[in-house]
A and B are shown apart, each in its own frame.
Chain A
């Protein structure tokens, strides 16, 4: 196995003592998609910035394609593409001018940069908008332009920091399709996301990150299987009933179910047999659900059981 990205014990402390990255290690095999999954403020963006030589780590080491990100940062930069969280598109330039500029700065000649820019504008369905100022672009178009900018010099390792945050479902699907094509052509991708669905769909390996550390890692199905086979979804007639049932289950079987409005979700260790136990508990307390569902665990469930909190709940309190 060839490693495209390797990080060992990375630490980055910001002013005020915030340990954004706190001893994080990871290994990404060439030609695969590695997903960093975690809530806002978990340190994902900082990891990406260290690996793309934007930030220097305070300690630990990392390399991309064997080039150290600190001592051989130029070689790293020549081989990577970065699409950051903000869609770094210059609003005053046209789509074509944006790409030409980035192309020239990635050491393509002006003519090659223009040719390559036109190629990518076509690939991302931006040809019609190529000569329009990027200020007039929609959020989805900006994202696509930003991703195109990361691909100008055909990087063999691509970093995507929350590539679909803020996109509508259609644009998200389209972007996923593009990423999958790139991977089929042999590009190694490291992506960060807060969306379980995105990590699940795209990643070969997922690392769950919280407080600057990897707290669990595996293929999507490995991560899910750590939870047991089945999750039971119950819908109660009111939020109060759901709360009551939550307390009751914690007391009787010692596990805190996840409460979402009137919904109660609980991973089951031994599947169907436990369903009967649950029904008996509920019947005895006169708390019967209006709907009952059994399903495979989702990454949401994994995340909850690993971190003790729901990813989405942390969104307000996150990074600046």
Chain B
């Protein structure tokens, strides 16, 4: 048993939570490295939102009437949410890729905390979102976006969006595990995101939409998050929007994270 003895002497004695966190850290680090090295993922998470900023600011914006502030101030909170929402497709694609390239199989044969695979993926996407939001804020300021409600309120709004995006990425990790391949993971994600993103208050005032669409557009979570961000950036009453945003984010997280974890266990 000399081999076994040697192994055990080298093994770091960790149990339970500390082991989960150290494994999560390792998987997160791996996903972040990959993120930085894949040009396509950088494109999806930063170039595409920048293009949307320019498109709506300079092409469509002139035709859209918004009450109160300038259109770019109206637009940017919507762009923040759209950016992280579209970014969560990356979670689905990344997990689908890991599954079909045999990576999840390898992870499952290791003496690691299995839940760290999903947690490491969603944490990496959270970190990516922080970077992308900083970048998009800078781009927004370059094209005339101004924060009216104070920096702390604005940062609080970004935190709300990050929490919501974190909850979303658990949901999209489930799509990644269900999809038969990476292309399908992408195709499955769009029909979900498209109506939620565009039939919302992100780009145009809901009042400009047809009457039958308004109840959905007013009450769906993307609008609520955008409204909260807008209030925290442009000023105005915030409490109602913030509370509803928190409820949606925490609620989605409580539902989606265990579902994804269960799907992960059941995939085998």
Contacts and interface: CB of A to CB of B under 8 A. Distances in A.
Interface in B11-38: 11-12, 14, 19, 22-23, 26-27, 29-30, 33-34, 37-38
Interface string B99-126: 0011101111111100000000000000
Contact of B108 (A54, A93, A107, A109): A54
Interface in A298-316: none
Number of chain B interface residues as a range: 20 to 34
B105 A84 contact: yes
What is the interface of chain B mostly: helix, strand, loop, or mixed? helix
Interface in A71-118: 74, 77-80, 82, 84-88, 90, 92-93, 97, 101-102, 104-109, 112, 116
Contact of B103 (A53, A77, A78, A90): A90
B109 A53 contact: yes
Contact of A82 (B11, B34, B106): B106
A257 B3 CA distance: 49
B10 A153 contact: yes
Contacts of B110: 77, 102, 105-106
Interface in B57-111: 101-103, 105-111
Contacts of B101: 86, 88
A133 interface: yes
Contacts of B37: 92, 133
A104 B26 CA distance: 7
Contact of B112 (A82, A93, A106, A133): A106
B103 A154 contact: no
Nearest to A54: B108
A54 B102 contact: no
A186 interface: yes
Contacts of A109: 10, 12
Interface residues of A, number: 39
A77 B268 contact: no
Contacts of B192: none
A92 B106 contact: no
Contacts of A86: 101-102, 105
Nearest to A135: B37
A52 interface: yes
Contacts of B109: 52-54, 77, 80, 82, 84, 159
A101 B26 CA distance: 6
A179 interface: no
- Among A49, A77, A107, A159, chain B packs the most CB atoms within 10 A around the CB of A107
7 contacts: A49-B268, A54-B105, A54-B108, A86-B102, A101-B30, A104-B23, A108-B10
